[in-house]
Structure 1
Amino acid sequence: MSGGEINIHATAIVVGTTGLLFVGPSGAGKSALAFACMNEARALGRFAALVADDRVLVSRFGEHLLARCPPPIAGLIELRHGGIAKVERLPSALMHVAISPVDGATAERLPPEGEQFSAAHGLALPLVRLPLGMPAPFSFIEAVMTAAQKTAP
Structure 2
Amino acid sequence: MTQDESRARQHDQTPHTAPCGGFTLVEVITVLLIIGILSALIATRGNTLNSDLPARMSEVRAQLRYIQLKAMKSGASYLALQCSNSTYWAYDTATPSTYLLLPGEKSATISLTDKNMAMNAFTIAFDRFGIPYSGSPLAKLSTNATITITAGGQSDSLYVTPETGFVP
Question: What TM-score do you get using the length of structure 2 for normalisation?
Answer: 0.21
Compare CA radii of gyration and give the structure with the larger one. 2
Higher helix residue share: 2
Higher strand residue share: 1
